């Protein structure tokens, strides 16, 4: 038996007529943005087609597919002419174990895949598998990533990869933690108290069934952390996700003297936190380069500041952030954008004052008392940023205005003012 080895015959095995047809919707989308992802579902297989205006590298695409936990059967890259230009196409044929889950998550997979290739997400991470397994949005997996990062920084005896393994292994329970978070903080939730209690009971039962002692500990830490959160800006739809914790209860899981109030900020470009020993505290913000243990650095500096502040005001504070970009890519513009987003995120968690009334965004659900006194100062790497911080405070209508960040051009000095 002779096989047809002509070029046309070989090409027909690689590409179908459908592969060479690009819809007007995709062409239009590529006029607005450089990359479009499209999923095609067949009987027992699925294909992901990635359309782009410029050729993409397989080395950039395949790690993301791996993070989704996809099994790639084969791949073909080709070009299609459209409207006097060339469109690049990468098609990946996938072997899908749970076709129903894949169909359900189709839209979110397409969106997250595109955003990942555009660099609008955090670095490669297996938490993307929850987009497929639990139909989570990019924002939801980013929130889970923020939880993992907080525990990783706060609890020295557990590392990031171990926490991530637990979160992805128990994907249904991780989704339940997100529901718990939403029940507590989503605005306008009806019968909030009963919803929270119901989900708490489900989580408790699910954790009881976990056989591994390490997984059990991590899941209990996540639950304790969620119970300690008193505010979040998550439902303000900001790019950076921030939450504030009352550390009184959570500190029992930690070693050494801990802050009373902690704010954590997560963005795909940076991570940061602010620690306060009390509601009336003062201390600087620094640009840290200790990516693995920046919380340890900042906590140590907060304790030092606590001693320095003994003759000024009762309590010390310290904040800082790391920028998740190579040093050579951190321009003045990027640094200002990161610093500004960090300041904005921290102020999302703080009340303001107007006359005799407390001002708070109506979408913020707060479980703590009024929190109106929040000031910052320059520190390592932020010496020239006080004017930027004060400009943000004024724009937001924060009651301290130019007294928010000391060291600005208007010359407010918190030490002198007491």
- Cβ neighbours for 213, distance < 8 A, ≥ 6 positions apart: none
pLDDT at residue 10 in the model: 44
Give pLDDT tens digits for 157-211: 999 999 999 999 999 999 999 999 999 999 999 999 999 999 999 999 999 999 9
**Candidate list 103, 106, 318, 415, residue with the active-site label:** 318
pLDDT at residue 316 in the model: 92
Say whether pLDDT at 153 is over 70: yes
- 49 close to 110: Cβ distance less than 8 angstroms: no
For residues 120 and 165, which has the higher predicted lDDT (pLDDT)? 165
Give pLDDT tens digits for 251-273: 999 999 999 999 999 999 999 99
Torsional sign, CA 147, 153, 157, 159: positive
Q: Name the nearest CA neighbour of 58 among 80, 46, 76, 37.
A: 76
Arithmetic mean of pLDDT, 222-229: 98
Torsional sign, CA 326, 330, 334, 335: positive
Q: Name the nearest CA neighbour of 353 among 391, 324, 393, 387.
A: 393
Arithmetic mean of pLDDT, 101-113: 96
pLDDT range class, residue 415, cuts 50, 70, 90 = very low
Is 318 a residue of the active site?
A: yes
Arithmetic mean of pLDDT, 378-400: 95
The DSSP element (H or E) to which 270 belongs, if any, is: strand 270-276
Euclidean distance between CA atoms 338 and 268, whole angstroms: 10
Q: Which residue has the tokens 């303001």?
A: 352
pLDDT at residue 17 in the model: 64
- Cβ neighbours for 338, distance < 8 A, ≥ 6 positions apart: 267, 269, 270, 321, 323
Q: Name the nearest CA neighbour of 317 among 347, 354, 284.
A: 284
- Cβ neighbours for 89, distance < 8 A, ≥ 6 positions apart: 19, 22, 49, 50, 51, 52, 77, 78, 79, 80
The angle formed by the CA atoms of residues 150, 396 and 182, to the nearest 5 degrees, is: 40
Euclidean distance between CA atoms 373 and 303, whole angstroms: 19
Say whether pLDDT at 236 is over 80: yes
Say whether pLDDT at 340 is over 90: yes
DSSP 33: S
287: three-class secondary structure by DSSP? strand
CATH number of this structure's domain 143-417: 3.40.50.10860
Arithmetic mean of pLDDT, 83-94: 92
Say whether pLDDT at 43 is over 60: yes
């Amino acid at each position: 038996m002779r096989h047809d080895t002509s070029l046309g015959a070989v090409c027909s095995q690689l590409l179908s007529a459908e592969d060479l047809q690009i819809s007007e919707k995709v062409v239009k989308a590529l006029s607005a943005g450089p990359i479009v992802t499209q999923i095609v579902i067949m009987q027992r297989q699925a294909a992901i087609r990635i359309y782009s205006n410029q050729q993409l590298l397989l080395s950039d695409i395949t790690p993301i597919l791996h993070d989704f936990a996809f099994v790639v059967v084969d791949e073909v890259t080709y070009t299609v002419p459209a409207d006097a230009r060339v469109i690049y196409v990468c098609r990946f044929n996938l072997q899908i174990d749970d076709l129903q889950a894949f169909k359900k998550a189709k839209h979110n997979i397409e969106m997250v895949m595109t955003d990942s290739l555009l660099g609008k997400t955090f670095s490669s991470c297996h938490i993307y598998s929850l987009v497929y397994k639990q139909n989570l949005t990019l924002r939801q997996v980013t929130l889970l990533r923020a939880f993992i990062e907080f525990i990783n920084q706060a609890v020295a005896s557990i590392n990031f990869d171990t926490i991530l393994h637990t979160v992805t292994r128990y994907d249904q329970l991780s989704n339940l933690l997100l529901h718990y978070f939403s029940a507590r903080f989503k605005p306008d939730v009806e019968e909030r108290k009963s919803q929270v209690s119901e989900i708490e009971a489900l989580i408790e039962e699910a954790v009881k069934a976990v056989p591994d002692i390490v997984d059990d500990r991590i899941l209990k830490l996540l639950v304790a952390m969620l119970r300690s959160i008193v505010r979040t800006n998550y439902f303000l739809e900001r790019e950076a996700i921030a939450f504030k914790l009352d550390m009184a209860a959570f500190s029992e899981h930690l070693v050494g003297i801990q802050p009373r109030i902690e704010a954590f900020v997560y963005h795909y470009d940076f991570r940061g936190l602010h620690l306060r020993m009390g509601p009336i505290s003062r201390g600087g913000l620094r640009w840290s380069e200790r990516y693995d243990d920046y919380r340890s650095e900042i906590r140590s500096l907060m304790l030092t500041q606590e001693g320095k502040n003994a003759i000024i005001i009762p309590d010390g504070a310290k904040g800082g952030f790391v920028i998740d970009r190579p040093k050579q890519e951190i321009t003045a513009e990027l640094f200002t954008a990161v610093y500004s987003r960090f300041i904005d995120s921290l102020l999302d968690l703080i009340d303001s004052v107007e006359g005799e009334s407390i001002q708070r965004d109506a979408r913020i659900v707060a479980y703590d008392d009024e929190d109106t006194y929040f000031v910052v100062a320059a520190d390592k790497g932020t010496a020239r940023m006080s004017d930027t911080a004060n400009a943000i405070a004024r724009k937001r209508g924060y009651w301290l205005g130019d007294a928010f960040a000391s060291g600005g051009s208007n010359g407010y000095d918190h030490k002198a003012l007491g």
